[in-house]
Amino acid sequence: MGLTPTNSELGKITYLCEVKKIMKAIQRKKIVRYVQKGFQLRYRMDGRSFNSTNEKLGRPVRPQERRDLVFKFLVIGDYGVGKTAIVRRYTEGKFSSNYKITVGADFCVRSMMWDAKTRVSLQLWDIAGHERFSYMTRVYYKYAVGCAVVFDITRHASFKSVIRWVNDLNNKVMLDDGSQVPIVLLANKWDIGESCVSDEAINKLCKELGIPTWFKTSAKYNLNIDEGISKLVGEAIRRTKENEQPVKKYDGISLDERRSTIGSLRDREGCCT
């Protein structure tokens, strides 16, 4: 039954009943781990994970069925467009207006459950936008499987630089199958409200560069940050599934295989005696 945080006596009684059930389960050693956060309880029971407020207990996920994926994503663009703010907002949930120049590159990590069977660890690489660091980008781009190109809607020059950044990316890194790294375009600082680039111009540029999606973003107000990165995660998972090789299962040796093996051994013995 769903539980909504409330100050009513009914809500408190229901909440205490859930806590009591959990404590009994702990005593019976059925619960592996649980976390209490406000009026929401999220815990794992017999390998099953659910939220007491809005999720139902489903079929247990066996350890061998769960996949752990690691993806490296790039965040590139001119200096001062808000790359570091976007990375920190997505990985730490924080925003700071204090601007510090990124020297070379920096990266942050965020882990999350994409679905019941897939855990994703993201490495977001914040690449310095100053030209004096451009000679090092080949090293930083290596092994990337997704990229967010960022420009500042109040600086038209940063919008023009998108072409240079996309070309630099395509010339220095590609996926294992030889295709280009998936890209999303982030039109950042939308909270300022003084855009010098029209939507039509952005759509036209995306069509020319083969970028399927772009987002209006604001690191300050957390506008479309998760949506933009999630688009890359979904594409990376899709490509991972397509490139997976089916695993052949051998339940045993058939009689035909056994006979052929014995026959070959006899022939080998006969030729060597």
175 C-beta neighbours (distance < 10 Å), count: 16
What whole-number distance in Å separates Cα of residue 270 and Cα of residue 251? 31
Which residues share a beta bridge with 111?
121
Nearest CA to 76 out of 150, 7, 174 is that of: 150
Task: Categorise residue 143: left if φ over 0, alpha if ψ from -120 to 50, beta otherwise.
Answer: left
Q: Which uninterrupted H or E stretch holds 241?
A: helix 225-243
Domains of the chain, each with CATH number or no CATH: 9-60 (no CATH), 67-243 (3.40.50.300)
pLDDT per residue rounded down to tens, the chain (273 residues): 444 444 455 455 555 555 556 555 555 544 434 333 333 334 333 344 444 333 333 444 455 578 899 999 999 999 999 999 999 999 999 998 887 778 778 889 999 999 888 999 999 999 988 877 777 788 899 999 999 999 999 999 999 999 999 999 999 999 988 999 999 999 999 998 788 999 999 999 999 999 999 999 999 999 999 999 999 999 999 998 887 765 444 444 444 544 444 454 445 444 444
